[in-house]
Chains A and B, each alone.
Chain A
Amino acid sequence: MYEIFEHTADLGIRVCAGSLDELFADAARGLFGVMVANVEGVKLVQEETFQLPGSNREELLHDWLSELLYTFYTRRLVLAEFHVQVGAAGISATARGEPLDPRRHEISGEVKAITWHGLKVEQLADGWRAEVIVDV
């Protein structure tokens, strides 16, 4: 699950999950939730796969969300379902969604970038928590 928190000029996404895999998937849902108001209506007709190297979890989270932004802006794909495997050397993921259709998808905000400010991935007693501030 994710929630949005306040930051004067920007927005924060706080994610809590039982596992790292779910944490990364929920963070991706949070990102598209910020950009598309009715993300629950997205049809899962197209599948994309992602492989990103790295071992630092915060860097990986940044890179993963940045990769999704790039996919959204250059290929105009709205993604809504994510399966992520976080391994020792990086992540592999699949995401499903459909091409952006301005008549059906209500764009609610532009995310310019995933910032490093206050970026956190932490292990808690009962799971994982991440915080990321996006530049809007």
Chain B
Amino acid sequence: MAQAGYHGPLEQIDECRWRIPKSYKIGMRVEGQIFADERLIEQIRTDQAPEQVANVAFLPGIQLASLAMPDIHWGYGFCIGGVSATDPAEGGVISPGGVGYDINCGVRLVRTNLMHEDVQPRLGPLMEALFRQIPAGVGTGGPYLFGGKEMRRLLAEGAPYLVSRGWATPGDIEHTEAGGCLPDAQPDSVSRRAMERGGDQCGTLGSGNHFLEVQVVDEVLDEPAARTMGLKKDLVCVMIHSGSRGLGYQVCDDALVVLRKAPAKYGIELPDRQLACAPVHSDEGQAYLGAMRCAANYAWANRQLLMWQTREIFAEFFGRSWESLQMNLVYDVAHNIAKMEQHEIEGRRRLVCVHRKGATRAFPPEHPEVPAQYRQIGQPVIIPGDMGRASWVLVGQPGSMRLSFGTTCHGAGRVMSRTAAVQHAKGRRIDRELAEKGIIAKCRSWKGLAEEQPAAYKDVSLVVDVVHRAGLARKVARLRPIGVVKG
């Protein structure tokens, strides 16, 4: 399969939006819309991601438009950066491909009360301690083991279950999207294989693009919002990016096997097998939703345990408790998930199934699902960038409810394939290049760093600019990495 560009139509709607008209392909039920500016759209045309936006518009029950965020890139079936909402009352479907294999892959940001100058002199040993103690790497297990009954509770109850085990506080739960638990999770729908793959992986980072970064607040663009989150210039934070590990991959894979026959059974025509789906109100759809919610709950517990270990490492390293270091969770967001949400569509409130694949919820101020502390400023949105440039903290804006089912972008988005990135890194030492910029990067393999080098990604700041201007989310603070642990 050659990596050819997209040659179909892209009509400019406004400064930040482009349309793929419904007439582009017979079978599209709605149009496609891509959020991008003129600079990003040129790059977006270079692969087949826009074609995938058009393909998603075939899904039964899809509302308004098949949407994509400015960090869109070519995925399998659905593009990465895609958002679609389906209405079960109109035969709307659920598609595991619209969530992805890494169910509830997401990001959390933890603050500290340490300033950059306090940490910089000891950064080397701190990164060494994090690298040594945070379980990471392919298929690696961790210190937390959940037996049959415990695993079932973890899957059904998510991060709140960890409060009872002493590994989470009520404050952590309050600052996690959905309170760290999707209701109606059905452990009975999770296969033995999935449980087996997840048994010892809760509290482990994984590999690929997952990371733990020590960051400093580089610039504050919205003082009141930053203050509400406990952020200020030069403050040290920790960002954690991981998902549901082997358990989630297996849940997705199991569902796709079951759904092989569903499109024919329900008379659904699809342009790509990876879009396999079933009506939300079907046995297959309900079984996937029940299992997907378990994987999402597992992922929230995973990031909670990663944060808990980070707190313990900091406490030991700095000789103070994590409470006295004020290592509070700012917020945790999911960026690969499907959720039932209320949205106003064509003047009517409807319960729709919102698929976010590489996209982040961004609820505006006053939304009832935003925790009380943030009700005035909007839901915090955490956008990880590449390991050499920046990450961002935003807050959800009212535009997201009008334009994108309460959603914004999720990251930088790749521009280079992994093989191209490895080629590009030949003869170079990415860790030394980063060290020259004052960033200590720790990874188990040269190839891991090569694949994730900054040049493999779009500049996240260009992506964030678009969602800011489009009114989906507002910039609050930019963070820059000073230490990176890669899986």
Q: Are A116 and B418 in contact (CB under 8 A)?
A: no
User: Does A112 reach chain B (CB closer than 8 Å)?
Assistant: yes
User: Does A73 reach chain B (CB closer than 8 Å)?
Assistant: yes
- Tell me how far the C-beta of A37 lies from the nearest C-beta in chain B, rounded to whole angstroms: 8
Q: Are B77 and A112 in contact (CB under 8 A)?
A: no
Residue of B nearest to A135 (CB): B101
How many residues of A sit at the interface, in one of the four size bands?
35 or more
Q: Chain B residues near A63: list those with CB within 8 A.
A: 257
User: At the interface with chain B, which of A3-11, A40-48, A83-91?
Assistant: A3-11
Q: Chain B residues near A104: list those with CB within 8 A.
A: none
- Tell me how far the C-beta of A3 lies from the nearest C-beta in chain B, rounded to whole angstroms: 11
User: At the interface with chain A, which of B59-67, B85-93, B272-280?
Assistant: B272-280
Q: Are A108 and B73 in contact (CB under 8 A)?
A: no
- Tell me how far the C-beta of B48 lies from the nearest C-beta in chain A, rounded to whole angstroms: 9
Q: Which of B77, B101, B137, B447 contacts A113 (CB 8 A)?
A: B101
Q: Are A112 and B193 in contact (CB under 8 A)?
A: no
Residue of A nearest to B1 (CB): A118
Q: Are B273 and A113 in contact (CB under 8 A)?
A: no
Q: Which of B100, B207, B252, B420 contacts A110 (CB 8 A)?
A: B207
Q: Chain A residues near B1: list those with CB within 8 A.
A: 5, 7, 12, 118, 131, 133
Q: Are B138 and A35 in contact (CB under 8 A)?
A: yes
Q: Are A116 and B274 in contact (CB under 8 A)?
A: yes
Q: Are A113 and B249 in contact (CB under 8 A)?
A: yes
User: Does A50 reach chain B (CB closer than 8 Å)?
Assistant: no
Residue of A nearest to B194 (CB): A70
Interface flags, B238-256, vs A, CB<8A=1, else 0: 0000000010011011001
Q: Are A113 and B193 in contact (CB under 8 A)?
A: no
Q: Are B75 and A76 in contact (CB under 8 A)?
A: no
User: Does A109 reach chain B (CB closer than 8 Å)?
Assistant: yes
Q: Chain A residues near B197: list those with CB within 8 A.
A: 70, 73-74
Residue of B nearest to A133 (CB): B76
User: Does A72 reach chain B (CB closer than 8 Å)?
Assistant: yes
User: Does A115 reach chain B (CB closer than 8 Å)?
Assistant: yes
Residue of A nearest to B249 (CB): A112
Q: Are B138 and A107 in contact (CB under 8 A)?
A: yes
Q: Chain B residues near A66: list those with CB within 8 A.
A: 253
What CA separation (Å) do A109 and B138 show in the bound complex?
Answer: 7
User: Does A122 reach chain B (CB closer than 8 Å)?
Assistant: no
Residue of B nearest to A102 (CB): B137
Within 8 A of B (CB), among A91-112: 106-110, 112
What CA separation (Å) do A112 and B245 show in the bound complex?
Answer: 8
Q: Are A6 and B274 in contact (CB under 8 A)?
A: no
Q: Chain B residues near A7: list those with CB within 8 A.
A: 1, 3, 74, 76, 417
Q: Which of A8, A76, A131 contacts B3 (CB 8 A)?
A: A8
Q: Are B447 and A115 in contact (CB under 8 A)?
A: no
- Tell me how far the C-beta of A95 lies from the nearest C-beta in chain B, rounded to whole angstroms: 18
Residue of B nearest to A58 (CB): B273
What CA separation (Å) do A49 and B257 show in the bound complex?
Answer: 22
Q: Name, among B3, B76, B77, B276, the residue most crowded by chain A CB atoms within 10 Å (CB to CB).
A: B76
Within 8 A of A (CB), among B248-272: 249-250, 252-253, 256-257, 260, 272
- Tell me how far the C-beta of A62 lies from the nearest C-beta in chain B, rounded to whole angstroms: 8
Q: Are A116 and B137 in contact (CB under 8 A)?
A: no
Would you give 10 A-B contacts (Cβ < 8 Å), ordered by A?
Answer: A8-B49, A8-B74, A12-B1, A70-B193, A73-B139, A74-B197, A106-B445, A117-B272, A131-B1, A135-B249
Which 6 interchain pairs have the tightest Cβ spacing?
Answer: A117-B76, A6-B417, A117-B274, A8-B74, A110-B138, A115-B76
Task: Given contacts A109-B208, A116-B276, list 15 more A-B pairs with CB under 8 A.
Answer: A4-B419, A5-B419, A6-B419, A8-B47, A9-B74, A74-B196, A109-B207, A109-B451, A112-B102, A112-B208, A113-B252, A115-B274, A131-B1, A133-B1, A135-B101
Binding site for B on A (CB under 8 A): 4-12, 35, 37, 59, 63, 66, 70, 72-74, 76, 106-110, 112-119, 131, 133, 135-136
